[in-house]
Amino acid sequence: MEYFNYIKKILSQKQILSLIGISLGLIITSIIEIFGISLIIPIIYTLTSDSFYNELVLFLSNYNFEEITKKDIVIVSLSLFVSLFIFKNFLLGIFFWIESKFIHKTSEKISSDIFKNFLLRDYSFHISENSAHLMSKINNDMLYIKTFFISLLVFIAEIIILIGVLGILFYYSTEILIKVLPVLIFFLLLFYFFFNKLIKKISVQRKKNDYLKTKKIQEGIGGIKEIIAFEKEEYFSKTYNKYINKLIRVFYIYQFLQKLPRIYFETVMVVGIALFTLSILFTTNDIDNFLALLSIFVALSLRLLPSINRIVNSINAFKYCLPAFKSVAKELNFKKRKKNKQRVYNFQNLDFKNVIFKYPKGNFNFNFNLKIKSGDKIAILGDSGSGKSTLLDLIMGFHTPLKGNIFLNKKKVLTRDLQNFFSYVPQFVYIFDDTILENITLGNYESSKDTKLLNQSLKYSYIDKFIKKLPNKIHTRAGDRGSRFSGGQKQRLGIARAFYSNSSILVFDEITSSLDSQAAKNIVNQIIKAKEKTLIFSTHKPELVKNFNKILRIKNGKIYVEKRK
């Protein structure tokens, strides 16, 4: 029942209906296979039992079938058997195609939904979560979601076949079924209880080490310059090997457990057939009937064995995939941050009244009042670590204050309502491995009107002359995280991106940290020319804030407001 609850949480109603449809299709093919298996029995009885043949001839004579030989019965039965199996396999091929398409499309949709959910989570979630953990959910957990659904469909099909085979055995010999079924259930339960805890344990270890492996890859690639500089290649390599070895150990234990049922139940089946043969041999004088029953039992056992093996493996797969399943279900059902549909361009004023904020892991509290008017040029001054970035995050709605009220255009709003009219340039700008054009416009470039805004943004960011010198101009690729550009050039691209978004308020967080003194002054003088924009600029350099009309000084967790004409 637990698994069905997770399925309901992960799949949409349409996907659940598709899953039910595929399951019904596999059930139909399983039923056809059972009919095919049942046709073997007349062949066996015809060849081994004269009494059965005589009864069958007598029965068919009532329907004007006369002079039917054993050969005729075998030919007809074999023809029906082969025809049914060809038809069954044709249907199975169609359903396998549909199943494969469904599983991969569903996994793709789930992966896309999880990624979107991450993007729509509050900023506080992202600063508390390790990015490797998020990547592990998107990449690794998806593999186990696929495995789960494949195993679920196999389980459904094989359960039907198992029931059908036992039904055939019940029809032809209730006595054999009564003897066989309890023994089969006993050995199934014995296997289940013996390995159940082990599979649960390695499933948790798999998830943990998948995450640690991803984390170490991220750290190794992200910190490659420091690793080379400090000659720590061997240390990072050994740490990675430690996690990958643990992961490989989990994989080979799981693979062993997936192959073990076949050996286990094959042994049980062979010993069972031998004991069954001996018991019947010493208790019956009807050798013909005994041989027929033995042949049927062996034939059905040959089909029963793969079914039991697949059912047990499916159950193992369910447990192995359960941590990933739980993680994905929890993520998809988490209440997402609502995204505002459009940016606000008619900004008039923003008023913070009696706002109190305490950073969870910080040593300072904010308790302040602040009014921002359209066209204000506000500078935030403070030493490194004084809380400038935290204050900016609070103003932009990335943090939620403990107390106080926020008014936008004189209307009370929530912090999340603030995020759609700010453009933000952080101290370390993230540059995507794409063209300069895409890095600035972020996919929002269509008309000649956009070209005018783009050129204006390049001018404000003081990067237009640099771009003109590049062979591919605005279509030059930036490389991984902007590896082909200097820190200052990446900073200017970030400024151009902020201006291009055409937001009401532009926020700059220590954007001159990668620039020399003159370049920093040039950038500040350039952006201050945007008279129609409201600017908030944080820095620890007092010489850069001469042209700002409002100064916020942060000292010992307190904010001092200084107004200028």
Comparing C-alpha atoms, which of 339, 395, 374, 325 is closest to residue 534?
A: 374
pLDDT band at 62 (very low <50, low <70, confident <90, very high): low
Cβ-proximal residues to 341 (8 Å cutoff; 6+ apart), any chain: none
Residue whose entry in the numeric block shows the structure tokens 């030989």: 69
Does the pLDDT at position 345 exceed 70? Answer: no
pLDDT over 80 (residue 461) = yes
Separation between Cα atoms, residue 104 and residue 143, nearest integer Å:
10
pLDDT at 290: 67
Q: Is the pLDDT of residue 538 over 70?
A: yes
Whole-number Å distance between alpha carbons of 278 and 296: 16
* pLDDT reading at 431 higher than 70: yes
| Residue range 117-123: mean pLDDT, rounded | 78
Fold equal for 1-333 and 349-562 = no
Tally of CB atoms within 10 A around 219? 16
User: What is the rounded average pLDDT of the residues 2-17?
Assistant: 80
Express each pLDDT in 64-92 by its tens digit. 666 677 777 778 778 888 888 888 888 88
pLDDT at 256: 86
Cα distances from 539 to residues 90, 118, 142, 365, 542, in angstroms, run 71, 30, 43, 20, 8
For the chain, what are the domain ranges? 1-333, 349-562
0.85 cut: is pTM over it?
no
**CA angle 69–70–74, rounded 5-degree value:** 120
The per-residue pLDDT for 59 is 66
271-328 tens-digit pLDDT: 877 877 777 667 666 666 666 677 777 777 778 888 888 888 888 888 888 888 888 8
- Please give the pLDDT value at position 217: 83
Burial of 379 (C-beta count, 10 Å sphere; 0-12/13-18/19+): buried
Q: What is the pLDDT of residue 64?
A: 64
In CATH, 1-333 is 1.10.3720.10: no
| Amino acid making up residue 91 | L
What average pLDDT is seen over the chain? 80
CATH code of the domain made up of 349-562:
3.40.50.300
Q: Which residues contact 508 (CB under 8 A, 6 or more apart)?
A: 425, 495, 498, 527, 535, 536, 537, 538
Residue 44, number of CB atoms within 10 A of its CB: 21
Instruction: State the Cα–Cα distance between residues 442 and 435, nearest whole angstrom.
Output: 10
Least confident of 120-129, 390-399, 469-478: 120-129
Is the pLDDT score of 448 beyond 70? no
Adjacent-strand bridge partners of 371: 351
Which residue did the predictor score with more confidence, 290 or 18? 18
d(CA 430, CA 413): 29
